[in-house]
Amino acid sequence: MQGVNVSVTHVRGTSWLHRLNPISKLAWVLAVIFFAFASYNPFPLFAIAGLGLLAGFTASIGKPLLRILLVFAPVTASMIVIQTIAPATCSNACTAAAQLGPFTLYQEGMSHSLSLVSRVLAMEIIALGVLMTTHPSDLFAAFAKLRVPYVLNFMVSMTLQLIPVLQREVSVVLSAQKSRGMKSSGFGSIVPSFVPVFAGAFERVQQLSISLESRAFGSTGAKTSYRQVKFGPFDAALAIIGLIAGVIGTILGLTLWSVDQTPSLVLSAALTVVIFVVAAIMFIGVIAAALLAIARA
């Protein structure tokens, strides 16, 4: 099929973000991840998430980015729902913000959950933004340049490719079993599929390894790389700025914005209820849909 993206998360394009050096981009992803882990203050994190989304739109990957975020939305929603009614940070000293039927919505819970959501969103958006604008081959070439061991690099890239293949194999095996009258009742129906899929995977790996060996894969001599990643002064500067920003941010996060020091978000009762209800709908809706799909299968 012409124009099919080479991997699940890659979107073709020629934007500024696409053209940035993968190593520089990776540096910024690392920076954001470290900062997000160290900090609990939702304001800078939501800001990063927002800026990331904006950058995504300027790079023409806005819509695909939102689509993937929607897939993760139920998980983030679950965090809000659970934390708000059963906060982890205030034990017995919680302040009730609102009452919704039998549920008491606690202010600390909502605040803490929003802080968690901001961390997740910041990491997600930046990481996805980079993944979507970096051709997987360039990504692996970047890893190779960073002296990631060849075999490890190859294993990850191979796994990336095998996922859709194995998905297809599982689907074929399930079709074959259904065609023999197998009723799919939960997990028990998947288990008989493991053997054929593993046998197939084993056969594939056998032939692949001989094919690779035949092309001198196991050779101990020096290997060269087809895909070159140029790393000029601009790219190096960008990467270093990113790393420095990451270090500064992490220090700030650890000293100023840790769990205890984070100012608690105090939202009005109405806002608390609205956010809670929206999150609950997302969360329950997805669970219900999943249960329905399992029951119907």
Partner 1 sequence: MADEPIISITDMGYTYAQAERPALAGIDLHIERGEYVAVMGLNGAGKTTLGLCLNGIIPHMLMGEQTGTVLVDGKDPGTTVVREMARTVGIVFDNPEFQMSQITAAEEVALGLENLGVDPSEMPERIAGALRLVGLEGMEERSPMGLSGGQQQRLAIASVLVMRPIILFMDEPTSNLDPLGKDEIFEIARRLNQEEGMTVIVAEHEVEVLAQYADRVVVLDEGRIALQGPPSEVLSKVDALTALGLRSPQVTAYAHALSGASAGLPVTIDTTLDWLGARA
Partner 2 sequence: MTTEPAAPAAPAAPASAAMVDLHDARYVYAHGNVVALDGLTVRIGAGEVVGVMGQNGSGKTTFTKLLNGLLKPTSGAVVVDGLDTRQHSVQSMAAHVGYVFQNPNHQLFATTVAEELAFGPRNIGCTPEEVQERVEEAVAFFDLGAILPLHPYRISFPLRKLVGIASIFTMRPRVFVLDEPTTGQDHRTTSVIDRLIRRLGERGDTVICVSHDMPLIAHVTARAMVMWNGKLIADGTPREVFMDTSAMVRTHLTPPQITQLSTRMPGRASRPAVLSVAELVAEAQERP
Residues within the interface to partner 1 (CB under 8 A): 1, 4, 6-7, 136-137, 140, 154, 157-158, 160-161, 164-165, 203-204, 207-208, 210-219, 221-228
Minimum CB separation from partner 2 for residue 178, in Å?
Answer: 4
Contact between 203 and partner 2 per CB under 8 A: yes
* Binding string, residues 146-185; x marks residues near partner 2 by CB under 8 A: -----------------------x--xx-xxxxxxxxx--
CB under 8 A: which stretch of 100-108, 197-205, 217-225, 250-258 binds partner 2? 197-205
Contact between 63 and partner 2 per CB under 8 A: no
Cβ proximity to partner 1: between 175 and 220 the closer is 220
Minimum CB separation from partner 2 for residue 64, in Å?
Answer: 15
Cβ proximity to partner 2: between 195 and 281 the closer is 195
Cβ proximity to partner 2: between 149 and 192 the closer is 192
Contact between 192 and partner 2 per CB under 8 A: yes
Minimum CB separation from partner 2 for residue 11, in Å?
Answer: 16
User: Residues binding partner 2: what is the number (CB under 8 A)?
Assistant: 21
Binder of residue 207, out of partner 1, partner 2, none (CB less than 5 to 8 A by kind): partner 1
3-state secondary structure string across the chain: CCCCCCCCCCCCCCCHHHHCCHHHHHHHHHHHHHHHHHCCCHHHHHHHHHHHHHHHHHCCCHHHHHHHHHHHHHHHHHHHHHHHHCCCCCCCCCCEEEEECCEEEEHHHHHHHHHHHHHHHHHHHHHHHHHHCCCHHHHHHHHHHCCCCHHHHHHHHHHHHHHHHHHHHHHHHHHHHHCCCCCCCCHHHHHHHHHHHHHHHHHHHHHHHHHHHHCCCCCCCCCCCCCCCCCCHHHHHHHHHHHHHHHHHHHHHHHHCCCCCCCCCCCCHHHHHHHHHHHHHHHHHHHHHHHHHHHHC
Q: Give the binding site for partner 2 (CB under 8 A).
A: 1, 169, 172-173, 175-183, 192-196, 199-200, 203
